[in-house]
Structure 1
Amino acid sequence: MKYSFGEFTLDTAGLELRARGAPLSVEPKVLETLIYLVENRDRVVTRDELIDAIWEGRFISDAAVSSAIHAVRNAVGDSGTKQSILKTIHGRGFRFIAATVESGAGAVALAEEKPEQDIYFCHSKDGTRIAYSIAGEGPPLIKTSHWLTHVELDWSSPVWKHVHGHFAQTHQLIRYDPRGNGLSEWDVDDFSLDRQVEDLEAVVDAVGLDRFPILGISQAAAVSVAYAVKNSERVTKMAFYGGYACGWRHHGSEKRIKATEATIALIESAWGGTGAVQQLFSSTFMPDAPPENLKWFGELQAQSSNGRNAAKLVEAIGEVDVREILSLVSVPTLVLHARKDAAISFRQGQMLAAGIPGAKFVPLDTSNHILPETDPAWHRCARLIAEFLLETS
């Protein structure tokens, strides 16, 4: 992607800053800082976010950040008093404010409307009907399914549309509803990890994919790991957000386990109705989301499954454990996790990354297990995953 502002052109692919066509000599960290500020120019970027993004969370002083900002200003002919390109928002952070024009393939794709999706059906190994969707063009990307999906309703909901739309702009995005969810068959009893892997296998075979990357959110990380170990010749890389290697029965305290068992009983008896049970999940998964997202997610859950299946799925999640096979993962893996995730602890994300050889771990400064479009962490998450998917091995 190329960004033009004033007399400058910033090439993010070539890692180069030019002034009136002539290349400038810019220190790598300074260039990274400029790129991050330009790519996130629609909002204020905090000092802590810059530290996470540029220095990957390592301890550095405020003076080091200030020095980088000063160097950025020098590179683009700005200053602390002039601030016509980079503005300091006192007490909050920094914002790139220069009028900017994008060029390149990425700019064309982002300017287009979200592509349409097509919905199909296939059957899992045990005959269960599985619904899946395909949207966008480009290299394939499998999004492994997670808690209560609905391929039709997810596509336009404010909870997920920015996620699906983002990846469908650059990839052929393949999503699916696992058994007991959405448009897939609801009359099922076995929600085990093995069956969930078979649902994924059925979709991959139905689409006719050879080799592809995987995107996994929350419980989808464990399903993806199990699939990748079993089908190592087909998976090229994996990106996870909010994932874990073992379910609540394996890592939870006695108090947490009893609370989850009580939640299962509540799901079975009070699913739907006033929506109180679904809102419990909404507030845990997205504590800092706009009210519209919380309302939508509650309704989405109610329409995506019934109380019986939702309870069985929570029970099955508790039994998941892929810790012993993490070391067998042989593809590049990116693991992102919210520092203050109330649904899946930060420690679980660290354990997942630590068990996978060579996995890169990136903490995100948010409380949201599901990232709304309004969360600054979403923009960073989307950028990092997009860059990771484009990297050549």
Structure 2
Amino acid sequence: MTDVQVERRLAAILAADVAGYSRLMGEDEEGTLAGLKAHRRELVDQKLKSHRGRLIKTTGDGMLVEFSSAVEAVKCAVEVQRGMIDRNASVRPDRRIEFRVGINVGDIIEDEGDIFGDGVNVAARLESIAVRGGICISRQVLDQIDGKLNFPLRELGRQNLKNITRPIEVYAIDLNEEGSPATRVLSAANLKQEIRYCRATDGVRLAYAKVGTGPGLLKSAHWLGHLEYDWDFPLQRDFLLGLASSFTLVRYDARGNGLSDWDVGELSLDAWVKDMESVADAAGLDRFPLLGFSQGCAVSIAFAARHPERVSHLILYGGFAVGANKNPNYTAADRERFAAMKTLMKLGWGADDPTFRQLFIASMLPDATKEQADAFNELQRLSASAECAVR
């Protein structure tokens, strides 16, 4: 029996792919291929050469690269991602080619020009959890670059990666050159949200906003929302700023609310889930945490059930399983009060006289200060028509 000699070595492995590649190809196959080739030729290949990376293989939208140094691997990845930011600056968000990168240090085996082993597998899984335009590294990589490179990092904790038997400590490199997350929190008052529009599957125009830097976070819409007014609303301002200081926060107004179309046909769970799909696609979100409040909890759960591959985390607060019309615990008196409230809403919601809205505020926010009550009164007036509020 002949013993087969296996050559092992320690290496830094970089795995990369294009976020949302299948969608990009489906929409414009020739344009996507041409764009990807140009990015590789004019940026990626040059950076690999300057940092002495060895290209092992390409797989359509992906690539596997070996480096003898973790420092060079990370420097190469950062330069490529920053270069892509510049190259994508004039490209429509939904058409941007954006790489996800994972880097690991580990033992590898080479066979006929290809490389295998746990070091390679972990790098590939790190790439799969990176945000578009982002870089995820393992603890082993951090140990190698510590004290040599000064990129801000975000600790993602111990992650259970697919087909990896042990949890992996993961860190995301922050490509913001201006400092740590704490620095960005202090400058959050300077954040400016960008409001855009997209179309739902039935043609309803939906308004959505993006603000902040970092991995994407989608906040589900709910009843009574207005992207512009919410941003300065006293009850939400600090909360939204806190999210935007650590994430690229994506919010949207539900159909019938705020800056989205008010005159809509269907109001249903299915329509709200499809709206979330449209916004996530338009905002360029691939895999992301989903934040839901109140009505948005059920919508978020339904979206996650339909698209488990797109939702990394579900954060839910104050949700409900059934509404008033289907609540088995509602008494006849409860239904009578609910019907009376709907009548008052129909007659007084959009009126200049705030009497009804003040009554509604008292039931919703019994402990509100005068400033908070006045702000909520204005939010009601701006967020929806009387007809939509009743529906």
Give me the TM-score of the superposition, normalised by structure 1: 0.51
Segments of 5+ residues of structure 1 without an aligned counterpart are 1-103, 313-393
* Aligned match for 2:385, one of 287, 306, 309: 306
Q: Does 1:289 align with 2:368?
A: yes
What code does the residue aligned with 2:370 have? Answer: P
Superposed counterparts of 1:249-260, under 5 Å: 249-251=325-327, 252-260=330-338
Cα distance in 2 for residues equivalent to 1:280 and 1:163: 26
AA in 2 matched with 1:237: H
Q: Aligned residue for 2:186?
A: 111
- Which of residues 336, 345, 348 is equivalent to 1:270? 348
Residue-by-residue CA offset, 1:29-63 (whole Å, 9 max, x unaligned): xxxxxxxxxxxxxxxxxxxxxxxxxxxxxxxxxxx
How has the CA–CA distance of structure 1 residues 189 and 259 changed in structure 2, closer, same or farther, with 3 Å as cutoff?
farther
- Quote the offset at 1:152 in angstroms: 1.1
Of structures 1 and 2, the one scoring higher in RCO (CA 8 A, sep 6+) is: 1
- For the 8 Å contact 1:215–1:239, the answer to whether it is kept is yes
C-alpha displacement at 1:174, in angstroms?
Answer: 0.4
**Identity of matched residues, %:** 41
- Deviations, residues 6-36 of structure 1 (Å, cap 9, x unaligned): xxxxxxxxxxxxxxxxxxxxxxxxxxxxxxx
Q: CA deviation at 1:109?
A: 2.5
Give the distance between the partners of 1:276 and 1:143, measured in 2 at CA. Answer: 31
Distance, in Å, in 1 between the alignment partners of 2:389 and 2:341 is 11
2:61 alignment counterpart: none
Deviation at 1:107, TM superposition (A): 2.5
1:156 Cα deviation after fit: 1.1
Tell me the alpha carbon deviations over residues 251-273 of structure 1, each in whole angstroms, 9 at most, x when there is no partner: 23332222112211211122122
Q: Distance in 1 between matches of 2:369 and 2:181?
A: 28
Match of 2:271 in 1: 195
Displacement of 1:189 in angstroms is: 2.6
Larger radius of gyration: 2
Q: Aligned runs of 1:158-197 on 2, under 5 Å?
A: 158-197=234-273
How far residue 284 of structure 1 moved from its aligned partner, in angstroms, is: 2.6
Return the alpha-carbon distance in structure 1 between the equivalents of residues 291 and 242 of structure 2. Answer: 13
Larger strand proportion of the pair: 2
What are the equivalent positions in structure 2 for 1:314-353 lying under 5 Å apart?
none
**SS of the residue aligned with 2:276?**
helix
Cα displacement (A) at 1:278:
2.2
1-side partners of 2:278 and 2:337: how far apart?
35
Match of 1:123 among 189, 194, 199: 199
The answer to whether structure 1 residue 204 and structure 2 residue 280 are counterparts is yes
SS of residue in 1 equivalent to 2:335: helix
Q: Distance in 2 between matches of 1:230 and 1:151?
A: 26
SS of the aligned residue for 1:155 comes to: helix
1:41 counterpart residue number: none
Q: Within 1, Cα distance between the matches of 2:206 and 2:270?
A: 15
Report the aligned-residue RMSD. 1.5
1:70-85 matches, within 5 Å, as none
SS of residue paired to 2:232: coil
The CA deviation at 1:220 is 0.6
Alpha carbons of 1:300 and 1:139: their partners in 2 closer, same or farther (altered >3 Å)? same
Amino acid at match of 1:287: P
User: What is the CA–CA distance in structure 2 between the aligned matches of 1:253 and 1:240, rounded to whole Å?
Assistant: 28
Q: Distance in 1 between matches of 2:385 and 2:364?
A: 19
Matches within 5 A, 1:89-168: 105-114=180-189, 115-168=191-244
AA at the equivalent of 2:354:
G
Structure 2 residue ranges without an equivalent (≥5): 1-178
Q: CA deviation at 1:167?
A: 0.6
Aligned length: 209
Judged with a 3 Å threshold, the aligned counterparts in structure 2 of structure 1 residues 277 and 228 are, in CA distance, closer, same or farther, namely: farther
What does 1:238-257 correspond to in 2, within 5 Å? 238-251=314-327, 252-257=330-335
Query: Post-superposition shift, 1:287?
Result: 1.9
Deviations 1:116-151 (A, max 9, x none): 100000000100000000000001111101121110
Q: Is this contact kept in 2: 1:119–1:131, CA < 8 A?
A: yes
Shift of 1:108: 1.6
- What amino acid maps onto 1:278 in structure 2? R
1:224 is aligned to 2:300: yes
For residue 376 of structure 2, what is the amino acid of its counterpart? Answer: F
For the residue of structure 2 that corresponds to 1:175, the secondary structure is: strand
1:261 counterpart letter in structure 2: A
Residues 289-335 of structure 1 deviation map (CA, whole Å, 9 limit, x = unaligned):
221111101111111111001111xxxxxxxxxxxxxxxxxxxxxxx
Contact 2:221 2:296 in 1 (8 A): yes
Deviation at 1:279, TM superposition (A): 2.2
Query: Counterparts in 2 of 1:363-378, with a 5 A limit?
Result: none
Q: Deviation at 1:234?
A: 0.5
> Counterpart of 1:299 in structure 2: which amino acid?
E
Letter paired with 2:371: E
* Contact 1:222/1:246 (<8 A) preserved: no
